[in-house]
């Protein structure tokens, strides 16, 4: 069975756009898209190196304005799987901005309109 890369190995192979941050008491990968959105890659710092990653697309930088816009579950822990999912979320965030969803209120309404 192939070993999953460590958090530091993932950061190194994903590139300089990523940081290691502590989010909700967990060491995670973080990337700011520069358009009001950012991603958190959770579940990749586990000591046992098992399990899948969960990737959260966030809007906002401070706790009072943060909103989870989309969550991707069961992402493989390889660099390729994480990179693909993060790029999909980056494209989605750009789509949202282009269609007027670029503030907390509009995103909250979008997320909760059903």
Domain boundaries, the chain: 7-111
The predicted pLDDT at position 1 comes to 42
pLDDT tens for 86-106 read: 999 999 999 999 999 999 999
The residue ranking higher by pLDDT, 8 or 4, is 8
- Bridge partner list, 55: 41, 72
Per-residue confidence at 84, pLDDT binned at 50, 70, 90?
A: very high
The helix or strand, by DSSP H or E, that contains position 97, with its residue range, turns out to be helix 79-98
Reported as a single tens digit per residue, the pLDDT across 36-50 is 999 999 999 865 567
Question: In this predicted model, what pLDDT tens digit does every residue of 60-74 receive, in sequence order?
Answer: 987 778 999 999 999
Structure tokens at 69: 């816009």
Which whole number is the average pLDDT over 13-30?
A: 93
């Amino acid at each position: 069975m192939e070993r999953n890369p460590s958090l530091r190995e993932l950061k190194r192979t994903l590139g300089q756009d990523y940081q290691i941050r502590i989010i909700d008491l967990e060491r995670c990968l973080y990337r700011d898209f520069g358009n009001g959105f950012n991603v958190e890659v959770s579940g990749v710092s586990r000591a046992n190196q098992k399990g899948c990653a969960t990737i959260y697309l966030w809007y906002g930088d401070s706790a009072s304005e943060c909103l989870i816009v989309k969550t991707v579950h069961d992402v493989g822990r390889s660099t390729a799987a994480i990179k693909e999912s993060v790029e999909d979320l980056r494209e989605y965030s750009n789509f949202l901005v282009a269609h007027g969803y670029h503030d907390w209120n509009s995103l909250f309404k979008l997320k909760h309109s059903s």
